[in-house]
Amino acid sequence: MCICQLLKVMDYHLENEESNYIPTLPLVLHESGGRRSMMCDSSQLLTHYHDDAKTMYEVFQRGLHISGDGPCLGSRLPNQPYKWISYKEVTARAEHLGSGLLHQGCLPNPSQFIGVFAQNRPEWIISELACYTYSMVVVPLYDTLGPDAIRFIINTADISTVICDKVDKAQVLLDNVERKETPGLRRIILMDAFDSALVEHGKCCGVHVQAMQEVEVRCDGNKMNERKGLLLPPVPDDLSIVCFTSGTTGNPKGVMLTHGNVVADFSGFLKVTDVIIFPNQDDCLISFLPLAHMFERLIESVVYCHGGRIGFYQGDIRLLPDDMKALRPTIFPVVPRLLNRMYDKANSPLKRWLLNFAAKRKGAEVSSGIIRSDSIWDKIFFSKIQASLGGRLRMIITGAAPTSPSVLGFLRAALGCQVYEAYGQTECTAGCTFTTPGDWTQGHVGAPLPCNLIRLVDVSEKNYFASKGEGEVCVKGPNVFKGYLKDPERTAETLDSDGWLHTGDIGKWLPNGTLKIIDRKKHIFKLAQGEYISPEKIENIYIRSEPVAQLYVHGDSLQSCLVGIVVPDPEVMPEWAKKKGMLGTYKDLCKNTELKKAILEDLVRLGKASGLHSFEQVKNIYIHNEMFSIENGLLTPTLKAKRPELKEFFKAKIDQLYSSITM
């Protein structure tokens, strides 16, 4: 018997040795109808984990004391090792910068909003901490929101001071002032070097342009000690950040989060994981997900609360593997899109089959709670994958979008570290559910965090009822936001009078106490015959098709059926097509009518297997050869589909699809 035949026999036996064990997670039914975790030591929801860290200012001070002035923030130049700034230096620079902001006329209270317009780098954290040192509020700006949104945020939040990283961003800000589109902006503080021309441009607009180093008031130790008595740190109920979320329609919404909100949320994470994997001084996180998003900021806060290190990528995602090898992180916050890329690296059929086989063998260990990187499977198959990520990972946290169960299962086995999945949104700070250590089943987003309740409410128009364990996911607890800045109407739509956050997601309780996201309440429309359609539910099924990278399902009340726009995976589709006898370049294959037919058949097959009704199946598709992206305006900065833009972009193709359908 050859080795391949032997492995196939072993694979068969493995697949037929499935365990019936489903770990039950400890949940309590609350009087409100919500469910909460039993991991709390009392009947109260968790507000903080450490008594000496109840605000984001105290969180960093705790890390400073624990670290003993150890390394805190690191960055690197190409082909160079990381260089580190110590905790004491970060603290001193933050106090200098904060004091300098006050000297410029900023007020030391939560009504003072400071814009931060920069890529991930040490100065981002220093700017944030400078605000917290004097009770000011951070308002992140990021260029992927688009110029209109940036102007909207500056005006809505009455931002007079923006700290930014690069000259080109400062030029954009000055141009806005010059056109009288952001008249309230008075100061721009730059992290990078700039020339006198920028200063002159600022003077013409009435904007003071300064270097960050200039604003950081320099003084000797005695003056520093004197100023420590003048620090004005916040209390838990004070605002810490206004995080504008990129909606798929309309202006962005400014989510108001207090220090207590953020501390409660990451304390929930700590409580869930503390027995298995508690952060410490030896931990190191790679920072590349945007700091303008709460998911990244929350995990970074966990690290520096415990005296760990944060290393920033060089700013180019293509160099991330090189940064990982140089930094050798232990904690890796990541989005599913990158996990999918890692999974897809095994692009040859034999290599993929062998890796999947090894992952299944090791997955038997994982399902019984054994997480290690020294098994025979690691030595033969996975050591190179682990080394490519630095070789020291002990925790991966993924969120922001659903992760494929097959990808999650593979990576838990292949990477030899804890892989957690979280679910939430900015309005509940970041997360409201989290994988429970020891429960390595897939197809759900974990159980409620100890800082919040979760309940499901009826969505009768879609036949989801709480009595059947299905409904809209609602969240209540100290991690839930205070409302949208200057937007009472949209606040009332999202946050009810009892303090429940209505997420717009449809969830389902599983028998073991975990939550599964199965649909969206929004983006619902009726077909001409009156049937309700949730396109995202259909897309989440169709996206499992092997050759498909992205897709958009379209329909409206004037049409009796659905159509779709499909973007094939450039790495996977050509090989998939070859197996079906179709050859050619990626672009040529996208024009091939036989390929279109094969992909449509595969989508319908998946839809039937998942129980879609016939009216929920697409009747025609167009194959598009360019990915939806932030750059072409079809995705939000959090990589969600911008449905109105997709509809407009593909209007002509959609019309053609409907005209060619014979019903």
**Tell me, what CATH number does 420's domain have?**
2.30.38.10
In a domain, 585, yes or no: yes
- Residue 524 clears pLDDT 70, i.e. is over it: yes
Task: Decide if 257 contacts 294 (C-beta within 8 A).
Answer: yes
Q: Which residue has the higher pLDDT, 79 or 227?
A: 79
Residue that has been written with the tokens 């039914």 in this structure:
29
For the ranges 177-186, 339-348, 559-568, the lowest mean pLDDT is seen at 339-348
CB 150, CB 162: distance < 8 Å: no
Q: Are residues 35 and 60 in the same domain?
A: no
Least confident of 60-74, 111-125, 332-346: 332-346
What distance in Å separates the CA atoms of residue 252 and residue 140, rounded to the nearest whole number? 12
pLDDT score, position 301: 97
Residue 309 within a domain: no
pTM of the model: 0.81
pLDDT at residue 2 above 50? no
Question: How many Cβ atoms are within 10 Å of 106's Cβ, its own excluded?
Answer: 20
Q: Which of 191-195, 246-250, 480-484 is predicted least confidently?
A: 246-250
Read off the pLDDT of residues 629-652 as tens digits, 9 standing for 90 and up. Answer: 988 999 987 788 888 899 999 999
pLDDT category, 400, cuts 50, 70, 90?
low
Q: Which of 290-304, 323-337, 411-425 has the lowest mean pLDDT?
A: 411-425
Domain count, the chain: 3
User: Average pLDDT in the 184-206 region?
Assistant: 97
Dihedral sign, Cα of residue 174, residue 178, residue 180, residue 181: negative
Instruction: Band the pLDDT of 350: cuts 50, 70, 90.
Output: low
pLDDT confidence of residue 7: 39
Task: Quickly state the pLDDT bin for 1 (edges 50, 70, 90).
Answer: very low
pLDDT confidence of residue 345: 66
The winner for highest mean pLDDT among 314-328, 391-405, 636-650 is 314-328
Average pLDDT over residues 319-338: 92
Supply the CATH number for residue 91's domain.
3.40.50.12780
pLDDT of residue 249: 54
CATH number at residue 547: 3.30.300.30
- Asked if residue 194 and residue 125 are part of one domain, the reply reads yes
**Last residue of a domain, which of 495, 522, 549?**
522
| pLDDT beyond 60 at 25 | no
Spatial distance between the Cα atoms of 132 and 109, rounded to a whole number of angstroms: 9
Domain boundary among 491, 506, 522: 522
12, pLDDT greater than 50? no
**Is 291 inside a domain boundary?**
no
**Cα–Cα dist 106/640, whole Å:** 36
What integer pLDDT is reported at residue 6 of this predicted model?
Answer: 33
Q: Is residue 547 part of a domain?
A: yes
pLDDT at 27: 62
pLDDT band per the 50, 70, 90 thresholds, residue 458:
very high
The answer to whether residue 302 is domain-embedded is: no
Q: Is residue 257 part of a domain?
A: no
Strands ordered across the beta sheet of 309-312: 83-86, 71-75, 309-312, 284-287, 331-334, 395-398, 418-423, 433-434, 447-448
- CA 366: distance to chain centroid? 25
Q: What's residue 546's pLDDT?
A: 93
What is the structure's pLDDT at 368? 65
Range of the domain at 598: 525-659
Q: Average pLDDT in the 493-517 region?
A: 94
The pLDDT, as a whole number, for residue 638 is 74
Q: Taking 90 as the threshold, does the pLDDT of residue 265 lie above it?
A: yes
What average pLDDT does range 348-376 have in this prediction? Answer: 69
Looking at residue 141, what is its pLDDT? 96
pLDDT over threshold 70, residue 286:
yes
Task: With a cut of 50, say whether residue 19 has pLDDT above it.
Answer: no
| Among the ranges given (227-241, 354-368, 442-456), the one the predictor scored with the smallest mean pLDDT | 354-368
Supply the pLDDT for residue 5.
38
Whole-number pLDDT of residue 402: 67
Top mean pLDDT of 21-25, 333-337, 510-514 is at: 510-514
Residues 94 and 226 in one domain: yes
d(CA 472, CA 33) in angstroms, rounded, equals 13
Query: Is the pLDDT score of 559 beyond 90?
Result: no
Among 609, 584, 608, which Cα is nearest to 595's? 584
d(CA 622, CA 625) in angstroms, rounded, equals: 10
Angstrom distance (rounded) from CA 480 to CA 425: 10
The whole-number pLDDT of residue 193 equals 96
Confidence band of 229 (pLDDT split at 50, 70, 90): low
209 and 97 within one domain = yes
- Specify whether 348 is located in the same domain as 452: yes
Q: What mean pLDDT is predicted for residues 76-104?
A: 96
Q: What is the mean pLDDT of residues 146-171?
A: 95
For residue 352, what pLDDT is reported?
64
Is 301 a member of any domain?
no
pLDDT of 373 above 90: no
Identify whether the C-beta of residue 52 lies closer than 8 Å to the C-beta of residue 46: no
Q: What is the pLDDT of residue 247?
A: 57
Query: pLDDT tier at 246 (50, 70, 90 boundaries)?
Result: low
Mean pLDDT of all residues in 45-57: 97
Question: Based on the domain organization, do 139 and 1 belong to the same domain?
Answer: no
Check residues 502 and 347 and name the one with the higher pLDDT: 502
Say if residue 18 is in the same domain as residue 111.
no
Q: Report, as an integer, the average pLDDT of 244-253.
A: 74
Q: Are residues 38 and 69 in the same domain?
A: no
* pLDDT for res 116: 98
pLDDT at residue 381, rounded to an integer: 72
Task: Find the length of the chain.
Answer: 663
Residues 170, 120 share a domain: yes
What is the mean predicted confidence (pLDDT) over 554-574? 91
Q: CB of 416 within 8 A of CB of 373?
A: yes
Q: Apex CA 445: angle with CA 440 and CA 447, to 5°?
A: 85
Confidence of residue 222 (pLDDT cuts 50, 70, 90): very low
Q: What is the arithmetic mean of pLDDT over 52-80?
A: 97
What is the average pLDDT across 324-353? 78
Please check whether residue 44 lies inside any domain of the structure.
Answer: yes
* Mean pLDDT of all residues in 7-33: 48
Task: Output the pLDDT for position 219.
Answer: 47
My answer on whether 49 and 61 are in the same domain is: no
177 and 124 in a common domain: yes
DSSP state letters, 256-297: EEEHHHHHHHHHHHHHHHTTT----TT-EEEE-S-TTSHHHH
In the listed set 474, 497, 522, which residue is the last one of a domain according to the structure? Answer: 522
Query: Percent of the chain at pLDDT above 90?
Result: 64
| Listed range (39-48, 123-132, 174-183) with the worst mean pLDDT | 39-48
Residues 72 and 35 in one domain: no
Mean pLDDT of 482-508: 96
Using pLDDT thresholds of 50, 70 and 90, give the confidence band for residue 15.
very low
Output DSSP code: residue 459.
B
pLDDT of the residue at 17:
38
Across the range 323-337, mean pLDDT stands at 92
The mean per-residue pLDDT over the stretch 503-511 comes to 93
Nearest to 629 by CA among 561, 567, 556: 567
Measured distance CA(536)–CA(401) in Å, rounded: 12
Q: What is the pLDDT of residue 113?
A: 99
